[in-house]
Amino acid sequence: MSITQYIFWFLSFLALMSALMVVFSRNPVYSVLFLIVTFFAIAGHYILLSAQFLAAVHIIVYAGAIMVLFLYVIMMLNLNQDAEPKKKTYVRVIAVVAIGLMLITLVGALKGATVNTPELTRTAGVGTVETLGKVLFNQFLLPFEVSSILFLSAMVGAVYLSKKNLQ
């Protein structure tokens, strides 16, 4: 096995284990911290796939902004005690069975499929900042500008929603 494969297996293991810990840890603060570990593992996968720009954006947006938001809300709501009641046992069993069946279906559907991987031609620099910037500001200029309106409305909405008395 080459070093790349070792890195791949390590990152996959890390991502899946910490994703499981997000779901199963009792304390919400631990969930957030494990989610950060998952995000860093995914960023490592992006680097492995030579998508450097997305790796940087992923770390900045997720680990930098969204996770701080989550931690801040958990702090505001004072959820750091293990007071959360569990769902009823039969609901949990049904959920696990349903998700297991979904996973089996997904894997089974891929069993006979031949993923047609082309030879790694690696057209000069897929995923670098330069090429992505060119694509983003030529081909996808309008969606880019529309997303700024989305952000503005999200910001206004968030500020308005968290006002003390809405009436």
Partner 1 sequence: MQLISGIPLIYYIYLSAAMFSIGALGVMIRRNAIIMFMCIELMLNAVNLLMVAFSSYMGDNSAQVFVFFIMAVAAAEVAVGLAILIMIYRNANTSDTEVLNQLKF
* 129 is a site residue for partner 1 (CB under 8 A): no
User: CA nearest 68: which of 19, 35, 21?
Assistant: 35
Which residue among 4, 90, 112, 167 contacts partner 1 (CB under 8 A)? 4
Which residue among 10, 75, 80, 135 contacts partner 1 (CB under 8 A)? 135
Which residue among 10, 80, 81, 139 contacts partner 1 (CB under 8 A)? 139
Phi and psi for 122 in degrees, rounded to 5?
A: 55, 60
40-99 binders of partner 1 (CB under 8 A): 42, 45-46, 48-51, 53-54, 57-58, 61-62, 65-66, 69-70, 73-74, 76-77, 79, 84-87, 91-92, 95-96, 98-99
Q: Closest distance between partner 1 and the C-beta of residue 27, in Å?
A: 10
CA distances from 161 to 21, 77, 153, 167 (A): 31, 16, 12, 11
Which residue among 14, 140, 142, 145 contacts partner 1 (CB under 8 A)? 140
Structure tokens at 73: 């809300």
Which residue among 112, 123, 142, 145 contacts partner 1 (CB under 8 A)? 123
5-34 binders of partner 1 (CB under 8 A): 5, 8, 12, 15-16, 19-20, 22-23, 28, 31-32
Q: Closest distance between partner 1 and the C-beta of residue 143, in Å?
A: 6
Q: Which amino acid is at 67?
A: M
User: CA nearest 69: which of 154, 166, 165, 167?
Assistant: 154
102-121 binders of partner 1 (CB under 8 A): 102-103, 106-107, 110, 115, 117-118, 120-121
CA distances from 93 to 19, 31, 57, 123 (A): 19, 21, 38, 48
Write the burial class of residue 39 (CB in 10 Å: 0-12 exposed, 13-18 middle, 19+ buried).
buried
